[in-house]
Amino acid sequence: FKMGNASKNENKEKKEFTKITFCLDWTPNTNHTGLFVAKGKGYFEEEGLEVEFVQPPEDGALLMCSSGQAQFAIDAQDTFAAALDGDKDYGVTAISAILQHNTSGIISRKGDGIVSPAGLEGKTYSTWESPIEMAMIKNVMEEENADFDKLKLIPNTITDEPAALAAKQTDAIWVFYGWGGINADIEKVDCDFFFFRDINPVFDYCTPVIFGNNEFMESNPEITKAFLRACKKGYEYAVENPDDAADILIKEDSTNSLQGADKLVHESQKWISKEYISDAKSWGYIDSSRWDRFYKWLYDNKLTKNNLSKTGYTNEYLSE
Amino acid sequence: MTKKLQNITDKLPPLIALLGFVLIWQLVCFFKIVPSFMLPSPIEVVLAIINDFSTLLHHGKVSLIETLAGLLLGIILAFVMATVMDRFVVLDKAFYPLIIVSQTIPTIAIAPILVLWMGFGMAPKITLVVITTFFPITVGLLEGYKSVDKDSLNLLKAMGADNLQIFYHLKFPRAMPYFFAGLKISASYAVVGAVVSEWLGGFEGLGVYMTRVKKAYSFDKMFAVIIVIVIISLLLMKLVKEIGKMSMPWLNLAKNENVNQK
Amino acid sequence: MTKKLQNITDKLPPLIALLGFVLIWQLVCFFKIVPSFMLPSPIEVVLAIINDFSTLLHHGKVSLIETLAGLLLGIILAFVMATVMDRFVVLDKAFYPLIIVSQTIPTIAIAPILVLWMGFGMAPKITLVVITTFFPITVGLLEGYKSVDKDSLNLLKAMGADNLQIFYHLKFPRAMPYFFAGLKISASYAVVGAVVSEWLGGFEGLGVYMTRVKKAYSFDKMFAVIIVIVIISLLLMKLVKEIGKMSMPWLNLAKNENVNQK
Amino acid sequence: MILLKAVDISKKYGEKTIIESVNINLKKGETVSLLGVSGAGKTTLLHVLAGISPPDGGKVFLMEEDITKNPGKIAYMMQKDLLLEHKKIIDNVALPLIIKGKSKKEARKEAIKYFKDFGLDNTQYKYPSQLSGGMRQRAALLRTYLSSNKVALLDEPFSALDNITKSAIQKWYLDTIKKIDLSTIFITHDIDEAIYLSDRIYILKGKPATITDEIDLGNLKKDTEKDFNLTEKFLELKKMIISKLV
Amino acid sequence: MILLKAVDISKKYGEKTIIESVNINLKKGETVSLLGVSGAGKTTLLHVLAGISPPDGGKVFLMEEDITKNPGKIAYMMQKDLLLEHKKIIDNVALPLIIKGKSKKEARKEAIKYFKDFGLDNTQYKYPSQLSGGMRQRAALLRTYLSSNKVALLDEPFSALDNITKSAIQKWYLDTIKKIDLSTIFITHDIDEAIYLSDRIYILKGKPATITDEIDLGNLKKDTEKDFNLTEKFLELKKMIISKLV
Ligand SMILES: Nc1ncnc2c1ncn2[C@@H]1O[C@H](COP(=O)(O)OP(=O)(O)OP(=O)(O)O)[C@@H](O)[C@H]1O
Ligand SMILES: Nc1ncnc2c1ncn2[C@@H]1O[C@H](COP(=O)(O)OP(=O)(O)OP(=O)(O)O)[C@@H](O)[C@H]1O
Ligand SMILES: [Mg+2]
Ligand SMILES: [Mg+2]
């Protein structure tokens, strides 16, 4: 597990590029648009970087970054807690927020009455059974005086949320609005949706987030900064040109998994482009107050052994 | 005395190999040749087993029930299929290729489909165990039935035995060693089958627990689960072996005697 | 003429069984006994294969390369292990139990760990194929070596043959049928091994494609992939069988002749 | 009185005719041997007589009854694999009774009576692999006897034994067969054995094979004479038979 | 001239002594047989002579050289499984040459010369399973010969054949052995065979087994006399040997 991938390219004819492996959190989607734009538009190249996007084993992006198989990876603040909380040093730090706000929430069939957490009572919810997820659902339900015990839980094996709802496999699913919510519109499945952050502001944590391998970043601070500069440029382009960016995403995705989903990508892009920077002073900035508040909540609710506030992130590699 | 000695010289080498393996593993961890989050040390794993014991027991029980139920159904299915296929050659010709095909389907691909069809209960898990286990048993039984020599068959025919009697007195006992050989292979795959299907959708069982601890980055617990799975598999194989020994007293005898006789 | 006839009566039943199976499947879909999103009809699956042909070919190639590389390494590993274990009884005693233990570890659990250790390339996939395939070959070879009777061994010793000559002239050829039997089993698991490891981390190969179409709820494509996997596995098994036949001319002869002789 | 009669038996395997127009008979109390080189078709003929292999022509009669293709009427001791390794001796021996519908308990009770007579004391609850070659032979013969048929067919009953152990068993066999009043046809390719044990010899020869000769030894008092097979009379007979065999 | 000499050989398996103080010798051109009941220890003794089984006491000399525990000096034809099924006849037969370091091509060239003499024309490129029993025997003997040792040990070379085919091969064997000038010790438990084929007979008997008798047949002109084994002289000898065996 050497940093083999980071070694200099031997090719003498061209400019020498630094190779970067970037581990995505999922199949390519509009969360990643800026990255693909940076690649497609040559922003990485301008910074002397050659970036390869890879996909992780199930839920493993962070670990791939820890192990040095990837220099950077995407994960979320909530799942990162488990890694921070143990007695082991995973050697990764959050260095940039892709979206400023948590855009996740619960989607349900229109007419079932799950317009807010109270409506979940007596319904079926597909869960990954992560403790934080459960605690959040419990919290938002209790905010509205609903009984969490009356929520029926089934394992989440769902990958196409609108279809699952339409087939009545389940009543409620956790989705990111920018993808799952938009997809429901596209598929013409009438749905209700609520954001967690609207019920309890503590849940407005950072997700998804770009992580970097500490060892790599400490020995290559300039490369790290250059990498984020290129990303930023990419996301800024996506904010300005959602349609064009969407096309670049589809084109640059070497896995071709978005082919045939043009409409979804474009619609999603239109919505999400507004979220990349949102109310922040610039793209990528991690709002420490929201970060710390969520981790404190975890600690207060005994979801972590340690108080993780003020740990695990830095804005120092971001350019102004 | 010599038998005891034999026993020791038989068991010593694997024990030493195992200890050596664990020792190297511990040293690799101790000198941080591999970072600790990538590979928990054996001590950590043992601690994880001790700390999580009741949880492991609970999930282990669920997986074990699925395994045993699947194995039992697999045996019944294999028995019926092999016996019918042995009786009617056409069916043998017709279904043997299909059975082989069924074994090249990745379980990881059908597990989610089974969950989709059968829900989140034990049914899809048991079904998956049946699918992974019936094959070695069926093949074993078929081979066993075919291993019966024409002369023995003629002997019973000459006595005027009907098909059922031939089956009971000759074919089935002759097929038993093959049956148990197949069953041993099945037993070694059965637990894994159950775990895979739980992994891909379920609420309880070692597979579910494994995804859970994996998400929590608890690799020590993850390894603990793997070790529990290995232990259950080995116990199951041992059980099959012992039942086999008990059901076929003539085989052990033959071995003991042959040393003295020939 | 009679041989041709035999060939037909051998191949007809499985063909009819297969067609019957597909027909029932189509009817189940046609009459919507199972909702179409849960089970694509055979026609849809065939269409999916045709439409996705180039994609399937691309991913299939990747999986096939991993499979073949893994199988080759598995053969080499198995050969070295079995030969060394056969030569030194202590090693046999020491490692045989460990090898069995290695088979009860769920691949689905170690695949992500392998990716973590070895990265995103083909290495972890090939390793997984090696792990799933070396076992049947090793066991086959060991059994084969052990199948050599004392008399043949003594015959060569009496000629003054050394260990290497005994291995070359006697042990290895005698072990070949066992080797190929093991290899056939390995071949049937190899593709699945590659697919599982891709499923759990990778960006090319049938396993990756499968997760992708599964996420898109394209069950017709999912089934198309399964069928491609089955076909590759069957072809691989067929290949092993043919190579086996070619490498052991004396076995086929024996069969033909025995009919006339005894 | 003729117990068993085979008329015009012929048998093919595939295109190949193995035996053709074979006529054979066996009188009550008689011991008849079937002599022929390896592959002549001796076993094939016995299979037909036992009813387990359908002939392509001809019929087999037991007394007056047609028993062609009707197994279970004649006891048959096969060329090898005499005992089922997975059954204890008592159950091996009692098998014909169980097949005929007796309960295991009854069958065992019936079988156990004969263990002493057949020199099988204390072997009841052993497995075949624990017995010596000679004992196995006797167990197989006891089983043949317990099928309680008047006629027994034996396929090379002694070929598995070495020449020296063989003569002891042959002697015992002659005595026993008389005691239990069995009429037998047995196969051998050992001329000495044929002369020593049988009242009559059929020679099976040719492709396809037929009975080419029948030699009556009824008037020889071989069992009374000591070392009969070392006498001149014996040698003459042997010479004669060899000349007919080749 | 004494070619092979075994002095005071004893051999145990585990706690059990199988043979004890066995002394044997073989002169040039001689054919000696080793007679004993099944399980006496005949094969055990031959294993020691061939050097593939270390004795617990005693030594084996070839000419004056000590060849105890030193295989490859004496040709040895085993009791069964004579030919390797996975090799063509030519390669089976040439195996001793290849083992001794010749190339496959050379070895084949050397071996092929003898196929005609041994009655094996046109079998070179066949596999053992395609040969009849008699041909297999001859191929095994040719292989034994090609190990180009002066002394050959044969363990029941004819026991697999039926009595009638056997005599033909035995005759051929006697002729051939003379032609190729081989000195042999062979095992049998068939008294007729021992008398017919050998110049001298050793009788191995007892538990543990020793050589209890040695019978010299050197002055019998058996091969010239037709049907020797049907003569009175033969019978007397046989009677004598039986009395010594039991
Ligand atoms: N099931 C069979 N199918 C085809 N041919 C057979 C079958 N059984 C026997 N034969 C052939 O029939 C011939 C006679 O065989 P059979 O076993 O009756 O001979 P045998 O006289 O009993 O010989 P042996 O003394 O070796 O037992 C042989 O040539 C054999 O190849
Ligand atoms: N490898 C062995 N281990 C233990 N005992 C053995 C071994 N080989 C032979 N024996 C025993 O040694 C005795 C002599 O066996 P051996 O094979 O030499 O007899 P034999 O005279 O050749 O008999 P046969 O005529 O049956 O070939 C037998 O009692 C046998 O059980
Ligand atoms: Mg026969
Ligand atoms: Mg022997």
Domains of chain B and CATH, by start: 40-254 (1.10.3720.10)
The answer to whether the Cβ–Cβ distance between A67 and C116 falls below 8 Å is yes
Which DSSP string corresponds to chain E? Answer: -EEEEEEEEEEEETTEEEEEEEEEEEETT-EEEEE--TTSSHHHHHHHHHTSS--SEEEEEETTEE-TT-TTSSEEE-SS--S-TTS-HHHHHHHHHHHTT--HHHHHHHHHTTTTTTT-TT-TTS-GGGS-HHHHHHHHHHHHHHT--SEEEEESTTTTS-HHHHHHHHHHHHHHHHHHT-EEEEEES-HHHHHHH-SEEEEEETTTBEEEEEEE-TT--TTTSTTGGGSHHHHHHHHHHHHHH-
Q: Which helix (H) or strand (E) is A278 found in, with range?
A: none
Q: Which among B257, B258, B259, B262 is the best mutation to test ligand 2's pocket, defined by most ligand atoms within 8 Å of the CB?
A: B262
Rounded Cα gap, residues E91 and C5, in angstroms: 37
The two structure tokens encoding residue A244: 């064009």
pLDDT tens figures, C57-111: 999 999 999 999 999 999 999 999 999 999 998 888 888 888 888 888 888 888 8
Distance D150 CA to ligand 1 centre (A): 27
For residue A8, pLDDT beyond 50: no
CA distance D71 to chain B (A): 5
Degrees to nearest 5, angle at CA D25 with D19 and D28: 150
Of the ranges C26-30, D129-133, D230-234, E187-191, the best mean pLDDT one? C26-30
Distance E156 CA to ligand 4 centre (A): 7
Test the D interface: residue of B155, B164, B165, B251 with most D CBs within 10 Å:
B155
Q: Using 50, 70 and 90 to split pLDDT, how confident is the model at B145?
A: very high
pLDDT, position B235:
93
pLDDT, position C14:
85
Considering CB atoms only, which of A21, A27, A57 is closest to C200? A57
Judged by DSSP in three states, A96 sits in: strand
Between A38 and E70, residue with greater pLDDT: A38
Spans in chain C with pLDDT lower than 50: 1, 254-262
pLDDT, position E221:
56
Looking at the DSSP assignment, which residues form a beta bridge with residue A211?
A: A73, A94
Listed residue (D4, A56, C161, A123) closest to B214, CA to CA: A56
Rounded Cα gap, residues E78 and E152, in angstroms: 11
Test the B interface: residue of A80, A84, A134, A157 with most B CBs within 10 Å:
A157
Rounded Cα gap, residues B63 and C177, in angstroms: 37
Q: Report ipTM for this prediction.
A: 0.81
The two structure tokens encoding residue C30: 């046609």
Q: Using 50, 70 and 90 to split pLDDT, how confident is the model at E223?
A: low
Q: Once rounded to an integer, what is the mean pLDDT over residues E35-45? A: 85
Q: Atom 1 in ligand 1: which residue has the minimum CA distance?
A: D13
Between D219 and C85, residue with greater pLDDT: C85
Listed residue (C230, E237, D77) closest to B106, CA to CA: C230
Looking at the DSSP assignment, which residues form a beta bridge with residue E183?
A: E151
pLDDT tens figures, E136-159: 888 888 888 888 778 889 888 877
Q: Helix and strand tally (H, E) in chain C?
A: 12, 0
pLDDT, position C2:
59
Q: Atom 22 in ligand 1: which residue has the minimum CA distance?
A: D43
Burial class (CB in 10 A: 0-12, 13-18, 19+), E130: buried
pLDDT, position C4:
66
Q: Are B229 and B76 in contact (CB under 8 A)?
A: no
pLDDT, position E162:
66
Residue E13: CB within 6 Å of ligand 2? yes
Rounded Cα gap, residues C7 and B5, in angstroms: 57
Q: Using 50, 70 and 90 to split pLDDT, how confident is the model at D229?
A: low
Judged by DSSP in three states, A20 sits in: strand
- Show residues of chain B in contact with C108, CB under 8 Å: 108, 192, 195-196, 199
Q: Once rounded to an integer, what is the mean pLDDT over residues B67-96? A: 92
Contacts of C229 (CB under 8 A, 6+ apart): B104, B105, B106, B109, C63, C191, C192, C195, C206
Chain D residue with CA closest to E39: the answer is: D162
Rounded Cα gap, residues B36 and B50, in angstroms: 19
% residues pLDDT > 70 (chain E) = 91
For residue D142, pLDDT beyond 80: yes
C34 lies within 8 A of chain B by CB:
yes
Q: Using 50, 70 and 90 to split pLDDT, how confident is the model at E238?
A: confident
Q: What is the DSSP letter of A177?
A: I
Q: Once rounded to an integer, what is the mean pLDDT over residues D86-108? A: 92
Between B5 and D149, residue with greater pLDDT: D149
pLDDT, position E227:
61
Q: Is D156 left (phi over 0), alpha (psi -120 to 50) or beta?
A: left
Between E82 and C186, residue with greater pLDDT: C186
pLDDT tens figures, B189-212: 899 999 988 887 778 899 989 888
Listed residue (E217, E32, E242, E15) closest to E23, CA to CA: E32
Q: Using 50, 70 and 90 to split pLDDT, how confident is the model at D133?
A: confident
pLDDT, position D112:
92
The answer to whether the Cβ–Cβ distance between C116 and B38 falls below 8 Å is yes
pLDDT, position A296:
94
How is chain D split into domains, by residue range? 2-74+150-245, 81-147
pLDDT, position A141:
92
Chain E residue with CA closest to C166: the answer is: E99
Chain C residue with CA closest to E153: the answer is: C158
Q: Fill in the amino acid letter for C164.
A: L
Distance D45 CA to ligand 1 centre (A): 10
What average pLDDT does chain B have? Answer: 87
Report the sign of the C-alpha dihedral through residues A71, A75, A76, A78, in that order. negative
% residues pLDDT > 90 (chain D) = 21
pLDDT, position D39:
79
Rounded Cα gap, residues D159 and D142, in angstroms: 18
CB contacts < 8 A, D to E, total 36
Which DSSP string corresponds to B140-200? Answer: HHHHHHHTS-HHHHHHHHHTT--HHHHIIIIIHHHHHHHHHHHHHHHHHHHHHHHHHHHHT
For residue E46, pLDDT beyond 70: yes
CB contacts < 8 A, B to D, total 73
Residue E205: CB within 6 Å of ligand 2? no
Listed residue (B52, B39, B24) closest to B212, CA to CA: B52
pTM of the predicted model, to two decimals? 0.84
C152 lies within 8 A of chain E by CB:
yes
Q: Are A232 and A319 in contact (CB under 8 A)?
A: yes
Distance D153 CA to ligand 3 centre (A): 12
The single residue listed with the structure tokens 């839920």 is A59
**Does domain E2-74+150-245 fall into CATH 3.40.50.10420?**
no
Which DSSP string corresponds to C127-186? Answer: HHHHHHHHHHHHHHHHHHHHHS-HHHHHHHHHTT--HHHHIIIIIHHHHHHHHHHHHHHH
Q: Using 50, 70 and 90 to split pLDDT, how confident is the model at A11?
A: very low
Rounded Cα gap, residues B100 and B138, in angstroms: 11
Considering CB atoms only, which of C10, C104, C112 is closest to B233? C104
Q: Are A238 and A126 in contact (CB under 8 A)?
A: no
**Ligand 1 interacting residues, C-beta cut-off 6 A:** C 262; D 13, 18, 36, 38-44, 189
Q: Using 50, 70 and 90 to split pLDDT, how confident is the model at D97?
A: very high
% residues pLDDT > 90 (chain B) = 48
The answer to whether the Cβ–Cβ distance between D127 and B254 falls below 8 Å is yes
Q: Pick the ligand that lies closest to the CA of residue E39.
A: 2
pLDDT, position A157:
73
Q: Which among E42, E187, E210, E211 is the best mutation to test ligand 2's pocket, defined by most ligand atoms within 8 Å of the CB?
A: E42
pLDDT tens figures, A181-215: 898 888 888 999 999 999 999 999 988 999 999 99
The two structure tokens encoding residue C232: 């590759």
Between A244 and E239, residue with greater pLDDT: A244
Considering CB atoms only, which of B200, B202, B217 is closest to A83? B217
% residues pLDDT > 90 (chain A) = 53
Q: Are D68 and D60 in contact (CB under 8 A)?
A: yes
pLDDT tens figures, A39-65: 999 999 999 999 998 877 777 788 888
Listed residue (A144, A143, A146, A105) closest to A123, CA to CA: A146
pLDDT, position E89:
92
Q: Which helix (H) or strand (E) is B126 found in, with range?
A: helix B123-146
The answer to whether the Cβ–Cβ distance between D147 and B173 falls below 8 Å is no
Rounded Cα gap, residues E19 and C200, in angstroms: 66
- Lowest-confidence segment of A117-126, B159-168, C215-224, D165-174 by average pLDDT: D165-174
pLDDT, position D105:
93
E33 lies within 8 A of chain C by CB:
no
pLDDT, position E163:
65
Distances, alpha carbon A18 to alpha carbons A10, A14, A46, A224, in Å: 10, 12, 11, 11
The contact set of E with D (CB < 8 A) is 37-38, 162-165, 189-191, 227, 230, 232, 235, 238-239, 245-246
pLDDT, position A38:
94
